[in-house]
Amino acid sequence: MSVTLSDAELLGECRAPIPRPAGSTGAPYDLVLLDRDGTLNVHRPGYVSDPADLVLLPGAAQAVAALQHAGCAVVLITNQRGMATGELSRAELLDVHRALLAGLAIGGARVDAIQVCPHEKDTCGCRKPRGGLVREALRRAPWAAPDRCVLLGDQLTDLEAAASAGLSAQKVDGAGSSLQVVVEKLIRDHASRV
């Protein structure tokens, strides 16, 4: 199930439309936006600049695969301030995102698009908790209705970014609400309403 994303997509610089997934009729959500660090992979101090330091959280790949099997498009949204400070290079981010996609693919999962904020704090409108990354994902997927989109993340800034762009959000954490648990509940709740 490997889908190759362009370097521009891996860096969050692609502005091309996000295709609507085949079989998305009846999907619980049009778009599911996922935070990266702390949601898909272990959050560590500093920046993940080496693929060897990227460790997927248990069940993360299975959760993403479940979303895709349900017909949802999955978009990764992530702040990467290290690019502005010089602590993270473009080449390092490419390598890390390639490793992330390879790890997801092992679990039968992929992402459809990536949005990255590479800016310093308070210098842009895209850095979470602002909603620019979310709004750009919606712009790239004009077929997605905001009330049929959700953001899943582990930080208050993720929830605030969703709210500022008019989306619902669910908090993911290690206390019984891992990504896998949250996704299973979202899909189960949708099935019970249909």
Listed in sequence order, the residues at least 6 apart from 100 whose beta carbon sits closer than 8 Å to its beta carbon are: 36, 40, 41, 54, 56, 76
The answer to whether the CB of 58 falls within 8 A of the CB of 178 is yes
**Residue 184: what pLDDT?**
95
**Residue 190: what pLDDT?**
84
Say yes or no to pLDDT of 2 above 60.
no
Say yes or no to pLDDT of 28 above 80.
yes
As annotated, the active-site residues are 35, 37
**Residue 90: what pLDDT?**
97
Using 50, 70 and 90 to split pLDDT, how confident is the model at 26?
Answer: confident
- Rounded to 10 degrees, the C-alpha dihedral 106/15/47/81 comes to -170
E-strand ranges in 3-119 read 31-34, 73-79, 113-117
**Residue 45 or 154, more confident:** 154
